[in-house]
Structure 1
């Protein structure tokens, strides 16, 4: 692949990469940093890369998991505030604000998961990768992907209210 192909890849896939990174990090700034770091690493070996999106995704996941291991004990995540109870008790039809609240609750719950479990769920349900593709990306077995998916969904169901379990349409935006 040529240098022009790298530039073209970045122009076409940058927004997709930032969205995925946001789900992995929980912060727009951290997501952009993660993507930039991953692209810098990918650029060094660009001519040897066969599947650029999978390669950059794997770099992002590995980088995020590595960062979490180094600094994870210092990171504190806020719990769900209980705003969902107000939404459930009102009995009104859903509006834009309710959708924002639900999305925030889902993202907060997602970021309470360990990084590898979060990565499996993001790659499975956001990136729509198969279990085999996820296993290849993370360098683990398909059985590990299945167990991490099951445990992750169980944990999300335990902390999310029933109203958040319904799909939230984000039109590909985070």
Structure 2
């Protein structure tokens, strides 16, 4: 194994779990997230000679997000509905229900808005960094985040209130 391959292997070993979470949040399905990550790592490996000198993680994130958006668009054009599975978690049942509600709300967002939410609030990127990853203007990130947060507030408020009502009636 040469130095470049070793560097790539070390990068994957160190960052794969975090990148898989980004992929899962971007698409909402564990199997598809694994496929997205594999695609991103394959593209990164092919460009490793260029990518490794900079920070490779933003490059991989961008590939993941772009691939997730492209797949969502293709599905919309072909009218394909993916099978979603909730993340495996050891959280208490109540926490698990909240995670399920949140993931459903994230899945309901358009792909670009979901990407902004994942990058800004899960990956804790700045607006400028998010714009760089998505290849858009900072103003676009701001407007997409605002629209997405409004949709999430509406969806989460409704779902959490319905859950509370269901529990009160039981």
Q: Secondary structure, in 3 states, of the residue corresponding to 1:129?
A: coil
Distance in 1, Cα, partners of 2:38 & 2:111 = 19
Query: So what's the TM-score if we normalise by structure 1?
Result: 0.80
Structure 2 alignment gaps of length 5 or more: 84-90, 162-170
The answer to whether the Cα contact below 8 Å between 2:101 and 2:159 also exists between their aligned partners in 1 is: no
Query: 1:1-47, CA deviations, whole angstroms, 9 ceiling, x for partnerless residues?
Result: 72211000000001001111010111111111110010001100101
Match of 1:143 in 2: 139
Distance in 1, Cα, partners of 2:145 & 2:67 = 20
Shift of 1:67: 1.1
Among 70, 73, 94, the residue aligned to 1:69: 73
Higher helix share: 2
Shift of 1:76: 4.0
Match of 2:152 in 1: 156
> What are the within-5 Å matches in structure 2 for residues 25-174 of structure 1?
25-49=27-51, 50-73=54-77, 74-76=79-81, 96-161=92-157
Q: 1:77 to 1:30 in 2, by over 3 A?
A: closer
Distance in 2, Cα, partners of 1:132 & 1:7 = 29
Q: How many residues get paired?
A: 149
Structure 1, 112-121 or 61-70: larger mean CA deviation: 61-70
Among 14, 17, 22, the residue aligned to 1:15: 17
Runs of 4+ that moved beyond 3 A: 75-78, 162-165
The answer to whether the Cα contact below 8 Å between 1:77 and 1:112 also exists between their aligned partners in 2 is: no
